[in-house]
Amino acid sequence: MRRNLFRAAAVAGAVLLSGAALTTALPAAAEPVTPLAAGQQAVSIIVGYKTGAAESRSDVAAAEDSASKGRRLKVNRRLATGGVVVDLRGDDLGKALAGFRADPDVAYAEPDLVMQPLADPNDTDFATQWDLFEATAGMNVPGAWATATGSGVTVAVIDTGYVAHSDLAANIVPGYDFITSSAAARDGNGRDNNPADQGDWVATAGECGTDANGNPVPAKPTDSSWHGTHVAGTIAAVTGNSKGVAGIAYNAKIQPVRVLGKCGGATSDIADAITWASGGTVTGVPANPTPAKVINMSLGGKSACSATYQNAINGAVGRGTTVVVSAGNSNDDTANYNPASCNNVINVAASSREGNRAFYSNYGAKIDIAAPGGETRRATDTPGTVTTPENAIYSTLNTGLTTPGNETYKPYQGTSMAAPHISGLVALIASKTTLTPAQIETAIKNNARPLAGTCTGGCGAGLADATATLTAVTATPAGYFENTADVTIPDAGAAITSSIAVTGRAGNAPTTLKVGVNIQHSFRGDLVIDLVAPDGSTYRLKNSSTSDSAANVVATYTVNASSEVANGTWKLKVQDTYSSDTGYINSWNLTF
């Protein structure tokens, strides 16, 4: 009852302002206070208020503040991260930002930037997946399949949505459409539970407005990209079915989360999508029944990491979700791009079939790792041509130029194609370990190999190697003990235990005893978890929390157990302290 009352209060306190509609693309003013790069657009403003300010918790106060001082601004809605989306309604972007930033109660005010898919799609026939297995520049994936195939892991593809494809259908789980603008979504409404890709074609130049330099967006008509479906195929296309392509984590599930439509997608929508995909709460959106352990974002725009993105990413990582992003396709320092420049992400550069940094790929100190991104043409070839389709990344696609047509396979190039290689690898790791997002990133970097060619500007740790990484993370360390027997946790009942008998250890346990826990539970905030030493001493690993509504506890805890004798029976003690949600201990382990 106590937790249910808390939930009701939380919902009541997060009521959104009614009657608001997301402003579509607006021309950006070239004011010094507005850090919009050439080609960048903003659709509105995102304002975060300081803790303690009335506007940080009250939509009414935020609305009054936005409409004050002669402004015509209007609060649209509150984000899951706490900021509010403010529609400009004709006001100058630069002046509006300056006004908010001068307010001592405002923590940050930033443009609600339009993001675009980071790929360079071109049509051609299906050839071969060199990117998975070629010795020179492939990612050495087949050798990893003997260890892991991604079973039990959901990967959220935050992108254009999903267009039906028989080489993916068996691995699709329900997603969500986070596009607020019905015009951009092309489905006649705003947010809904149907993430179907309606096509992102643009019929005429300038249909999406103008950029910061007054140039038309787009510069010429564009066809639908079906970008999210191409990305999804690289991660988890069905394998062993005598057709199409092989997914890197072919037993993982894909959760399509639609944020990119006609003219791109808003930062505010993408931020809420990150929160929801990772199991967080977004007001007005049903809870995610299958939270993702991996998020792939093959999208971006030119700007430094925004507070909105960083807050959403931090929340996702805190819930145990690894966030993988594309570096960008501008042959530029990735530090200038968003969300690639954010912290707590795996930032992926693109490499070519020869093992060089792809000519278009961003680079720099912010890059974590490189993965195959392909090149459908040489850097010196005419832009838009397809001269080397055999050197591209082949994946699932659709023939429709505007609305969906027939399923097909086509080659794309881009850091958008590199990122899902890493997302697939993360899914393989997550299916076999309880490593944290930071530990997964470290494992991928530590087991990378040097690029066969060159990388001017910096490509992180090198080319990811799937087999080497899986071998390293699944090797049984000395002093490793595990119990994989399931133990049911009574709902709001007495504590239960699972035991591990430790033998062959000399002396006491270490100061850094690692306790790996995998508990499947529909509301992990219910759970209190303790480690019990052989002499009965207890070490608290996790307290209950009425505000933690995410599912499952998959984590590794570090315990100073140096006062305990190592040999003996250790126990994991778990108690469900509230009613209505159930679960079980799936497995747990000790590493001395």
Catalytic residue positions, numbered: 159, 227, 416
- HSE-up of residue 469 (Cα within 13 Å, Cβ side): 34
Extended beta strands in 478-536, E state: 480-483, 487-489, 496-502, 513-521, 527-532
Closest C-alpha among 546, 488, 479 to residue 507: 479
**Rounded CA separation 26/223 (Å):** 22
> CA 18, 24, 30 angle in degrees (round to 5)?
120
Cβ-contact 380, 229 below 8 angstroms: no
Which residues does residue 116 pair with via DSSP β-bridges, in sequence order? 300
Helix (H) or strand (E) holding 87: strand 84-87
Cβ-contact 494, 571 below 8 angstroms: no
What the block records as the tokens of 53 is 């300010």
> CA 358, 359, 364 angle in degrees (round to 5)?
80
**Rounded CA separation 493/251 (Å):** 35
The one-letter amino acid code at 24 reads T
Q: Is the peptide bond before 339 cis (omega within 30 degrees of 0)?
A: yes
Which residues does residue 158 pair with via DSSP β-bridges, in sequence order? 257
Name the DSSP letter for residue 500.
E
**What are the Cα distances from residue 238, in Å, to 167, 392, 495?**
5, 20, 41
Closest C-alpha among 416, 207, 213, 212 to residue 300: 416
391 exposure class (CB count in 10 Å sphere: 0-12, 13-18, 19+): buried
The SS3 call for residue 387 is coil
Helices 267-277 and 307-318: crossing angle in degrees, nearest 10, is 10
CA 361 centroid distance within chain: 20
Closest C-alpha among 457, 439, 414 to residue 344: 439
CA 431 centroid distance within chain: 17
Task: Concatenate the DSSP letters of all residues of 298-342 into one string.
Answer: -EEEESPPPHHHHHHHHHHHHTT-EEEEE--SSSSBGGGEETTT-
**Rounded CA separation 382/376 (Å):** 11
Ramachandran category for residue 14: left, alpha or beta (phi over 0 → left; psi -120 to 50 → alpha): alpha
Cβ-contact 359, 331 below 8 angstroms: yes
Ramachandran category for residue 558: left, alpha or beta (phi over 0 → left; psi -120 to 50 → alpha): beta
What the block records as the tokens of 272 is 């809420």
